[in-house]
A and B are shown apart, each in its own frame.
Chain A
């Protein structure tokens, strides 16, 4: 269940608790970069923090401003540690790339589908996505 079939859209390494979104989230209008909290009122996981998580999303949604919001969240340290996207999304890719240029932040984005029931601590390393065994 590790690694196979994933593709790095933005390369890098990250480790974090896996947060799987049941529905897509537009970061603009959906994530407060000041707090890292999901603020979209129609989202089932409203109120949760994405900070330092590996965020798994079905696909992006809505606004083209989401790149700005991701870059701002990376600047402020409230962003996810990395993303696992079930469909590629250049809006998130450019947000991560620009923040890296401006602030040297690292936020890898991979494209691929996680196995059902995945939870716990996960890592992203280039094209490799895997759970980290617990104690």
Chain B
């Protein structure tokens, strides 16, 4: 593998112990991928601040001890704790203390305490063609697909190795060839479905199942697939599959046409997705029925626009069940300024920041099903929290909250 003088200097310890460890791990991974060398990155997003046990903390503390400092602007993903609303945490204090140490370790290395899974909603975000190293599956797929920035799927540990060295393996989605669509997905649905927010996460859930790790180009969507809808699509696809990038012909930046997305080559595979497939995919996200126990929305973190949309729906109404809204501290402060948050809290909802309701103990003892508008939440919460989930649109979530019983929309 080709290494620059500065790569080699880091391997030799010239930039300190932590940089040497990071470069050694980075080179080992790059070699396992047959990467020809490393590329410079301009930003990183770190998933390693979410506490999964002692191993992650041991690694972070070893890097801090080795003098680790990030060398590119680096944001932090959701953690296990809501530092703005600490009273929401219902787990044991020992885990909370360890989770806090982990968060502090990453901040000590110079990372920005953004604590969000949607760093692409921050004002400062990567641009078209930027080489970056991002963790968090939904952020990875958004960066590649919607922003046109270039990142592979960086797992915990490798993300901070990239941030400490400013380098990443020159392979896969960092290269033109790796971003070419090899799978064409033909979406055949009635036009009015493209106006339905629910289409996008359900399509994403199905896309993950058919695409696996392949880069797909979706044919059959149009300008109605805005950022928040593409966010829902990508988050679902990165949960049900290992999707790190998709194109939407005529919509996303590297897919002016379907031919452009495939770089003029023929697809290796073509899949059709129709209403029957989508209805099946939607049904597979519902795991239960029974009394309504709680509602959780905002996975990935709600944008300012989504908070405003929710506020419009709930104005002057009140919820009969616990209703959680996950968002970032950045979106919270912007939505507070516009009065949006006061409306949402007036409805009786609990705003959660810095973390998310499916990764840490926040929900009270839930008796009954939990309703969500997130395919990702519906995918992971049953395993993580042991709850049954009903997946539906935001409007159905609000209608259910107001009535206190499950109200699920009609149609496909």
* Residues of chain A at the chain B interface (Cβ within 8 Å): 9-10, 24, 26, 28-30, 33, 39-42, 58-69, 71-72, 74-76, 87-95, 97-99, 101-103
CA separation between A68 and B380, bound complex, in Å? 17
B384 partner, pick from A29, A95, A97, A98, beta carbons under 8 A: A29
Contact status A94-B55, CB under 8 Å: no
Quick one: CB contact mask for B28-42 with A, threshold 8 Å, 1 for yes?
110011000000000
Contact status A39-B155, CB under 8 Å: no
CA separation between A29 and B59, bound complex, in Å? 21
Contact status A72-B52, CB under 8 Å: yes
B157 partner, pick from A29, A30, A60, A95, beta carbons under 8 A: A95
Give chain B residues whose Cβ lies under 8 Å from the Cβ of A67.
155-158
Question: Contacts A59-B242, A71-B55; is A64 near B159 (CB within 8 Å)?
Answer: yes
Chain A nearest CB, measured from B246 CB (Å): 15
Q: Which residue of B lies closest to A33 (CB)?
A: B53
Contact status A28-B52, CB under 8 Å: yes
CA separation between A74 and B352, bound complex, in Å? 32
**Which among B53, B169, B287 has the highest number of chain A CB atoms within 10 Å?**
B53
Q: Which 9 A-B pairs have the closest CB atoms?
A: A91-B155, A67-B155, A72-B53, A71-B55, A68-B52, A9-B32, A94-B158, A68-B156, A72-B55
CB contact list, B224-263 vs A, under 8 A: 238-242
Q: List 7 A-B contacts (CB under 8 A).
A: A62-B239, A62-B241, A66-B156, A68-B48, A95-B155, A97-B25, A97-B29
Is B21 located at the chain interface by the 8 A CB criterion?
yes
CA separation between A42 and B157, bound complex, in Å? 27
Chain B nearest CB, measured from A75 CB (Å): 5
Is B120 located at the chain interface by the 8 A CB criterion?
no
A29 partner, pick from B21, B152, B154, B380, beta carbons under 8 A: B380
Give chain B residues whose Cβ lies under 8 Å from the Cβ of A26.
239
Q: Which residue of B lies closest to A32 (CB)?
A: B383
Question: Contacts A41-B287, A93-B32; is A75 near B155 (CB within 8 Å)?
Answer: no
